[in-house]
Structure 1
Amino acid sequence: MNQASLTSPRAGRHEKNMVVLLSLGFGLIGLDRFIILPLFPAIMRDLGMNYQDLGNLSAALAMAWGFAALGIGGLVDKLGRKNVLVGSLLLVSALSGLSALAAGLVTLLLLRALMGICEGMFTPTGITVTIEVSHPSRRGFNLGIQQALFPILGLALGPLIAASLLETLHSWRGVFAIVALPGFLLAWLIARHYTPVAGRARLHRRAGTFSTWLLALRHGNIRLNILIMFCILSCQFVLCAMLPNYLTDHLRLSTMAMAFVISAIGVGGCVGQLIIPGLSDLYGRKPVVMLSFAASAALVAILSMAPPQPWLLFCLLFGISFFNCSLTCLAVGPLTSESVPPALLPAATGIVVGLGEILGGGASPALAGFVATHYGLPAILRVALGGSVGGLALSCLLKSPEIIPPSSLPISDEIMPDERFSLEEA
């Protein structure tokens, strides 16, 4: 990057515009991913499905997401970040719209798996671009903003949007068609506003996908981040998948009370990602990660003993999601980006996101289902607690990256990605 681009007054606007656009993009990814859950009762009646089919649909998307994220580094090298961002968002929107035409389980499984591939392409690329456009002193804060709308649109507002559209349109097919539309507009806005950093693609093309994986795994916290992501998602995905049944079948809450409590996952996750990553910019990554894991573990333990009081359960689940979603942001964002040279960032992010999604999104809910079947629904909270406690233990091993104090940075609002490394130095 030349000096003129660093001092340009447009640099600050570009950073803000891209963070907002990428946040909206990831929010729509969350909406497209989770919108099927509140629509499934209607889909089940029309297409003759059962709850096992719902689990299979969720697993298909999660596994495809993870494997796509693993291989995204090579695709970014060939096509460029802009093309991957725009293309994946267009495809997700198109596939979501095509879900309205599904005639059975096989068609929906195929469409959900393809959506998972496209969402797995967008996720690490969006994280990488957010880091690219962010000033070093704002990386954690900007990553928090970029990730914040995923839980709020997908888990908090998604059920309300689905219910409102279903009541108006009287068709789950129409809901899929309507939800697909904003993605096309957003893809056009990203294509119009995103200007890739000059020279970055050249650095990426010097290494193949497999070699970049091996190089990335040798750096900093990458291997540890994979295990930490598994612990985070073991808590987060178990609660998302199994807690509704725990609330209705074990605590005997009504359906409306259960929905109110579950909405805390989306609200808490959104608020947490706006606060905790920014605090890590000020006080360091490792202390904030350790504190977040400890708080999550304590809240899960209290949740396991809590009486069936909706407001109390809402507050506890809000706090758990507040810390867990923030931990996800930190693990795939600053902890990964500050462990590798810029040339290895797409591959490193893909590894952490991909393996975390495969293990956390696939293995953890399956384990929780086994535990619930054999030991009862309350035992699922032990699985979630084990994830937080394990993450706390692993976080003690983190190598604290060097945080640049704001006082040592230039006053101008400019884009200053860390270019201290080259691929040869890796």
Structure 2
Amino acid sequence: MVGLERSVLPLVGKHDFHLASNAAVLAFVVAFGSAKALANLGAGALADRIGRKRLLVFGWLLALPVAPLLGFAPSWWLIVAANVLLGANQGLAWSMTVVMKIDLAGPERRGLALGLNESAGYLGVAATAFATGAIAASVAPRTVVWTGALAISLAGTAIALVFVRDTGGHVAHEQLAHGEREALPLRAAFAEATIRRPVLRACSQAGLVNNLNDALAWGLAPLYLAAHGEDATKIGIVAAVYPGVWGFLQLGTGWLSDHAGRKPLITFGMLVQAGALALLVAGGGAFAPSLAAAALLGTGTAFVYPTLIASVSDVVEPRDRASVVGVYRFWRDGGFVAGALLAGFAADALGSGPAIAIVAALTAASGLLVAITPWQPSAGTPLRLRRWLPSPTSSWPIRAHGIRSPVYERPSEGGAMRAIECPCGHHLEGADDEELFRLARAHVDTDHPEMQRTDEQLRARVAADAYEV
């Protein structure tokens, strides 16, 4: 649905509705981003009460009126209204696909699952952006958008109704390891993701800035290229390369974040995005540098996008996952609003080139802020080490998330060790089950005091689940 608009809707505003102001053209991005951000927030809070599948289906039902509004609206403001519905559709439907993937994947494959999910979505965006740009060279752009929107919304609604199963049962089972309790209320989840926890705070600001430059690529970049003489076909190619590279690379970057750590990938990706926007300005709207900038922007976003959501999921309990991820996605998609307003008004006042340069500087600053944010466990927690796999939540170059005793001695060559996995993702290993019990006791008391497990319960868990390594 979003890919249908990426290459042609700004041009529809200029040519069909004769809008002179960039800010007026980008109003549809503001409407989309505002509706999506608020829908994300509501979806996270309601997921455990209403059910994930019900919210998914309702989100797709909201998409059904979008096509006729886009096709037959007599004024630009009805196009903007259609994007309110599209934003609500994306906020509800996409939030639920993300949360349901996290529910099913478990902590060890969280990045991989999110990479696959985001890859499928943005390869779809790329395909439709390219197709609409190419077809719009010979068919009226509005016709391309509304007919495509109708087909996609009908297909999405049917698939959600018939084939998708709710994952609430998986969450309830996973939460058993953390103790029974209600999910955080929305106010508490909002405070956790916005202010209280450094990792969540860093992820929220990085997500906002990521979508700030995405709004620029969506709304202002086509106008920037058109102002420098590029036709609809070339604009469609540039608009497709960005999400195409983004979608394809996420097949690997989500998996990589499970093994190389989240923080270095986020920092690297934000700095690559900043460099891509700088190249777009330096190229002066010419096709070749714009194409290279689009590929770089997609590369940077691929490193950032699934990794941020995985980082948020790493540090919250299963019961709180939907609400905290919803708050993160609220801030992230608020970047559409901030980006459209900043790009629109800055472009009207200073020109498109300076507006893009401002966003590039903000993106670089965001990446540096992630780099200086402590990603390690707080002081007083046991040392986290593991032989092979790095920690999703650790700072580079600390590379593991198993817990070992400070006095633990590795067995001599050929000796066996015992290990166990905590549902939170931590790997514990020791010489025997008794040492595993002591490590589990320390881990629960330090990191999960709310679980209130007795010694007998922990010993039974170790006896049942420990394995040799």
Distance of 1:104 and 1:257 partners within structure 2: 27
Alignment of 1:201-216 (within 5 A): 206-216=183-193
1:379 aligns with 2:350: no
Alignment of 1:125-274 (within 5 A): 125-161=96-132, 164=135, 172=142, 176-191=146-161, 192-198=163-169, 200=171, 206-217=183-194, 218-219=196-197, 221-249=199-227, 251-274=228-251
Distance of 2:4 and 2:237 partners within structure 1: 21
| Counterpart secondary structure, 1:340 | coil
Normalising by structure 2, what TM-score? 0.70
221-230 vs 307-316, greater mean Cα deviation? 307-316
Match of 1:340 in 2: 316
Distance of 2:115 and 2:29 partners within structure 1: 25
Match of 1:295 in 2: 272
Q: 2:52 aligns with which of 74, 81, 98?
A: 81
Distance of 1:379 and 1:113 partners within structure 2: 29
- 1:53 and 1:150, CA in 2 relative to 1: closer, same or farther beyond 3 A? farther
- 1:134 and 1:167, CA in 2 relative to 1: closer, same or farther beyond 3 A? same
Structure (1 or 2) with the greater helix fraction = 1
Distance of 1:166 and 1:309 partners within structure 2: 19
Distance of 1:38 and 1:372 partners within structure 2: 14
| Deviations 1:20-40 (CA, angstroms, capped at 9, x unpaired) | xxxxxxxx4x34664871782
CA contact (8 A) 1:219 1:340 kept: no
| One-letter amino acid matched to 2:204 | I
Distance of 1:48 and 1:297 partners within structure 2: 32
Match of 2:375 in 1: 399
CA contact (8 A) 1:284 1:400 kept: no
1:37 aligns with 2:26: no
Q: CA RMSD in A?
A: 3.7
| One-letter amino acid matched to 2:392 | I
Distance of 2:101 and 2:157 partners within structure 1: 16
Quote the offset at 1:187 in angstroms.
3.6
Quote the offset at 1:81 in angstroms.
0.7
Structure number with bigger Rg: 2
Match of 1:310 in 2: 287
Q: Which has the higher contact order (CA 8 A, sep 6+)?
A: 1
| Counterpart secondary structure, 1:347 | helix
Match of 1:283 in 2: 260
| One-letter amino acid matched to 1:262 | A
Distance of 2:278 and 2:142 partners within structure 1: 38
CA contact (8 A) 1:88 1:119 kept: yes
CA contact (8 A) 2:211 2:336 kept: yes
- 1:362 and 1:388, CA in 2 relative to 1: closer, same or farther beyond 3 A? same
| Deviations 1:253-282 (CA, angstroms, capped at 9, x unpaired) | 445434333332222221232222221122
Gaps of 5+ in 2: 378-390, 394-398, 403-421, 426-443, 453-469
Q: 1:388 aligns with which of 363, 367, 372?
A: 363
Distance of 1:35 and 1:247 partners within structure 2: 11
| Counterpart secondary structure, 2:307 | helix
260-269 vs 174-183, greater mean Cα deviation? 174-183
- 1:164 and 1:64, CA in 2 relative to 1: closer, same or farther beyond 3 A? same
Distance of 2:145 and 2:33 partners within structure 1: 22
1:118 aligns with 2:89: yes
CA contact (8 A) 2:271 2:300 kept: no
Match of 2:339 in 1: 364
Quote the offset at 1:318 in angstroms.
0.5
Distance of 2:233 and 2:164 partners within structure 1: 42
1:355 aligns with 2:331: yes
- 1:230 and 1:399, CA in 2 relative to 1: closer, same or farther beyond 3 A? same
Quote the offset at 1:41 in angstroms.
5.8
- 1:159 and 1:81, CA in 2 relative to 1: closer, same or farther beyond 3 A? same
CA contact (8 A) 1:77 1:205 kept: no
Distance of 2:11 and 2:191 partners within structure 1: 42
1:55 aligns with 2:52: no
- 1:93 and 1:322, CA in 2 relative to 1: closer, same or farther beyond 3 A? farther
Quote the offset at 1:84 in angstroms.
0.8
360-369 vs 59-68, greater mean Cα deviation? 360-369
Count of residues paired in the alignment: 385
Normalising by structure 1, what TM-score? 0.76
| Deviations 1:191-238 (CA, angstroms, capped at 9, x unpaired) | 434242427369685543223333555345212211111222233322
Quote the offset at 1:241 in angstroms.
2.2
CA contact (8 A) 2:133 2:236 kept: no
